[in-house]
């Protein structure tokens, strides 16, 4: 009788546990990113900078989300602070499964008339802790589970250091610097050969 | 004899010039001389960067929706609930035993500042929305007064609240309905994290 009671008790406990598991939702969920900032990217006016960034699903469930750009408006900001129109992220929409990693391409198209200097942030230290006030332009990703109305995401500051238009002589100078030994030797050989031929002519 | 001397001097000049050229070329080419191999290994790593999780009032179960119960036009709805705790365990405003609508958990490897964003409420059902973001140990939230959206339209608020790694915060919400009657509206709430 006691044995039967124990078995019944254990059975009830097991069923209760399994039933309880049905009502436990997915545990704490988050999406990870491999970079917390894309600041001080360098490029020339009219050129496009490409940078990869990846997300990893660390949830127990699939999440759907998207990327967008954002400008944090601050009074008396210069026009250099909002570079959101320069930026595209491909693909924009995503779905990420548990344990999956997805790579996105951030393209920053620098306008041809952009002046040299920093754009999108007020200082080159904007990505560092304690410098939140120096950030202006961000790329943002956010996602949610299923048909949910609660999203979670991260604000990633982005800035571009536009370089002065390159000097057309730079490639020539680089070539000379890389091959200085051959150039000098060739030059000397040519001089010596010229001198020898001149002497021969004089000898005649 | 003089001819021989001159020829020898010419050959010597060429030899000297060649030697000088070789020396200069060697110098210009930037040869690096390593005197000793003093090396030391350095190592560093960074913590993972993750989004802030929105979880239930007690359990660490991820929530997907927050629902404001139906109310009369122009009424204030102070008892929203999430899909984990359900309507039977809605938000409670009280000076002593308050309970939030949801909790936020920072699972990232570093401290994050919290920004809240909402999209415009559809069908013009909302007149305004407020929030309070406090420590979970604070159970004295009797009123929700920080403005999230002053007119029910899309808004973004940098809360100035920081969350350390592994910490929780309690989020209280309150919605003032507009004078529109017999309508259902929706909006999305976004919790954004940022390096402080």
> Could you tell me the residue ranges of all domains in chain A?
28-162
Q: How large is the average pLDDT for residues A22-26?
A: 44
pLDDT in tens, B31-62: 555 566 677 888 888 888 999 999 999 999 99
Strands B76-77, A117-119: pairing is unpaired
Asked if the model's pLDDT at residue B12 lies above 90, the reply is no
User: CATH fold of A28-162, please?
Assistant: Immunoglobulin-like (2.60.40)
Tell which residue, A96, A87, A100, has the closest CA to residue A38.
A87
CB contact under 8 A, B50 and A33: yes
Q: How large is the average pLDDT for residues A97-118?
A: 96
Q: How large is the average pLDDT for residues B112-116?
A: 98
> How are the residues of chain B apportioned to helix, strand and coil, as percentages rounded to the nearest 5?
15, 35, 50
Query: What confidence score (pLDDT) does residue A20 get?
Result: 40
Measured between CB atoms, does B193 come within 8 Å of chain A? yes
Measured between CB atoms, does B195 come within 8 Å of chain A? yes
Q: At what angle do helices A170-178 and A180-203 cross, to 10 degrees?
A: 80
Structure tokens at A166: 């390159």
Measured between CB atoms, does B90 come within 8 Å of chain A? no
Structure tokens at A169: 């002589």
Of B28, B55, B56, the CB nearest to A181: B28
How far is A142 from chain B, CA to nearest CA, in Å? 8
**Residue A36 and residue B196: Cα distance in Å, rounded?**
11
Mean pLDDT is lowest, of A115-129, A130-144, A155-169, B139-153, for A155-169
Q: Yes or no: say if A136 and A77 are a contact pair by the CB < 8 Å rule.
A: yes
Other beta carbons within 10 Å of B30 = 10
Q: Yes or no: say if A104 and A31 are a contact pair by the CB < 8 Å rule.
A: no
CB contact under 8 A, B65 and A27: no
**Residue A33 and residue A96: Cα distance in Å, rounded?**
12
Burial class (CB in 10 A: 0-12, 13-18, 19+), A188: middle
Q: How large is the average pLDDT for residues A148-170?
A: 90
CB contact under 8 A, B62 and A28: yes
**Residue A29 and residue B61: Cα distance in Å, rounded?**
8
Q: How large is the average pLDDT for residues B85-107?
A: 97
Q: Yes or no: say if B84 and B154 are a contact pair by the CB < 8 Å rule.
A: no
CB contact under 8 A, A132 and B55: no
Measured between CB atoms, does A198 come within 8 Å of chain B? no
Structure tokens at A80: 């250099």
The residues pairing with A69 across neighbouring beta strands, listed in sequence order, are A139
Provide, as residue numbers in chain A, all residues whose Cβ is less than 8 Å from the Cβ of B187.
149
How far is A143 from chain B, CA to nearest CA, in Å? 9
Query: What confidence score (pLDDT) does residue B180 get?
Result: 96
Size of interface A-B (CB pairs under 8 A): 139
Residue found by looking up tokens 């960034």 in the block: A53
Asked whether the ipTM of the predicted complex exceeds the cut of 0.90, the reply is no
CB contact under 8 A, A150 and B102: yes
Q: How many CA atoms lie within 13 A of B146 on its CB side?
A: 17
Provide, as residue numbers in chain A, all residues whose Cβ is less than 8 Å from the Cβ of B186.
149
Asked if the model's pLDDT at residue A17 lies above 50, the reply is no
Measured between CB atoms, does A163 come within 8 Å of chain B? no
Dmax over CA atoms of chain B, in Å, equals 126
Of A29, A129, A142, the CB nearest to B62: A29
Measured between CB atoms, does B31 come within 8 Å of chain A? no
Measured between CB atoms, does B107 come within 8 Å of chain A? yes
Q: What is the dihedral of CA B88, B92, B97, B99, to 10 degrees?
A: 80
């Amino acid at each position: 009788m006691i044995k039967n009671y124990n078995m019944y008790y254990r059975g009830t406990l097991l069923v209760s546990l399994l039933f309880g598991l049905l009502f436990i939702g997915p545990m704490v969920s988050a999406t990870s990113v491999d970079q917390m900032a894309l600041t001080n990217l360098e490029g020339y006016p009219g050129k496009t900078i490409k940078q990869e960034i990846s997300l990893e699903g660390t949830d127990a469930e699939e999440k759907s989300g998207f990327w967008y750009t954002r400008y944090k408006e601050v009074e008396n900001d210069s026009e250099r602070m909002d570079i959101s129109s320069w930026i595209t992220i491909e693909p924009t929409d995503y779905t990420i499964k548990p344990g999956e990693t997805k790579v996105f391409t951030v393209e920053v198209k620098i306008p041809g008339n952009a002046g040299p200097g920093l754009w999108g942030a007020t200082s080159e230290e904007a990505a560092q802790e304690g410098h939140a006030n120096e950030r202006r332009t961000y790329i943002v990703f956010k996602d949610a589970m299923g048909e949910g109305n609660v999203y979670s995401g991260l604000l990633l500051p982005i800035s571009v250091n536009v370089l002065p238009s390159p000097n057309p002589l730079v490639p020539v100078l680089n070539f000379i610097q890389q091959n200085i030994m051959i150039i000098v030797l060739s030059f000397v050989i040519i001089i010596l050969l010229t001198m020898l031929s001149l002497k021969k002519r004089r000898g005649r | 004899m003089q001819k021989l001397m001159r020829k020898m001097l010419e050959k010597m000049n060429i030899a000297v010039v060649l030697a000088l050229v070789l020396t200069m070329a060697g110098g210009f080419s930037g040869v690096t001389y390593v005197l000793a191999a003093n090396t030391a290994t350095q190592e560093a790593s960074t913590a993972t960067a993750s989004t802030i999780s929105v979880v239930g009032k007690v359990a660490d179960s991820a929530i997907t929706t927050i629902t404001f119960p139906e109310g009369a036009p122009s009424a204030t709805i102070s008892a929203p609930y999430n899909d984990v705790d359900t309507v039977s365990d809605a938000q409670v405003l009280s000076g002593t035993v308050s309970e939030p609508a949801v909790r936020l958990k920072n699972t990232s490897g570093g401290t994050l500042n919290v920004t809240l964003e909402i999209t415009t409420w559809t069908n013009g059902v909302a007149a305004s929305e407020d929030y309070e973001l406090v420590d979970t140990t604070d159970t004295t939230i009797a009123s929700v007064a920080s403005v999230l959206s002053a007119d029910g339209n899309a808004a973004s608020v940098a809360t100035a609240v920081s969350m350390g790694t592994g910490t929780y915060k309690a989020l209280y919400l309150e919605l003032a309905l507009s004078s529109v009657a017999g309508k259902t509206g929706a909006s999305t709430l976004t919790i954004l994290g940022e390096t402080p």
